[in-house]
Amino acid sequence: MFQELQCGIPDVTMTKPKGLASSLFFHVYSGTNAIAFAQLSSRSENNHRRSLSRRTANDDTAPGVSYCLKIIEVSQNYRNQGIGSALLDEVIGFCKDERVGSIYGEAKGDSEDLRRWYQGKGFEMDSVDNIQLSF
C-alpha cells in the first residue's frame, strides 16, 4: 500500500488510489506523520476550464476522462525540499497510466512561482492562472 516517494528525502512514502473514481487522494508521509497530499476530482466548479486538446486519431486516452487538481499541499516544515514536485510527478504519472485525457485546475498562491512550477511540469496556463495538462 505504501511506496517510496522519489524526492531525495529518506523515509518519505506515499499512498495513491487504485484506479479511477470521482475523487482521488494521494497522501505523503514522513514516518507516520502526514506531510503532503493531493486531491483530484472529476467534478469541478472551475468555470474557466479551457479546451486545449492535443489528441490525435491514434490517441489511446480514455474518451472524456479528465480531472480537476483541487489541491496539492505540503506541510510548511517540508516545503522547498522537492516533495511537492515529486508528488505532482506521481499524480501526472498515475493519470497517464490510467489513460486520463487531461488534468486542469487553478494555480492558487504566489502566481509567478507557481506559473514557473506548473509550466516546468508541462502545464499550460492562461492569464487568470487556470492550468491544464493534456496527454
> What are the sequence ranges of the domains in the chain?
3-134
Of the candidates 98, 119, 96, 95, the residue with the CA atom closest to the CA atom of residue 107: 119
> What residue has cell string 506559473?
115
Beta bridge partners of 23: 41
Q: Please, which residues have CB within 8 angstroms of residue 86's CB and are 6 or more apart in sequence?
A: 5, 6, 7
Q: Residues 30-72: pLDDT tens digits? A: 999 999 999 999 964 444 444 444 444 445 555 578 999 999 9
Q: Please, which residues have CB within 8 angstroms of residue 126's CB and are 6 or more apart in sequence?
A: 48, 50
pLDDT of residue 49: 44
pLDDT of residue 63: 59
On whether the 3-134 domain is CATH 3.30.1130.10, my answer is no
The 3 state secondary structure assigned to 38-82 is EEEECCCCCCCCCCCCCCCCCCCCCCCCEEEEEEEEECHHHCCCC
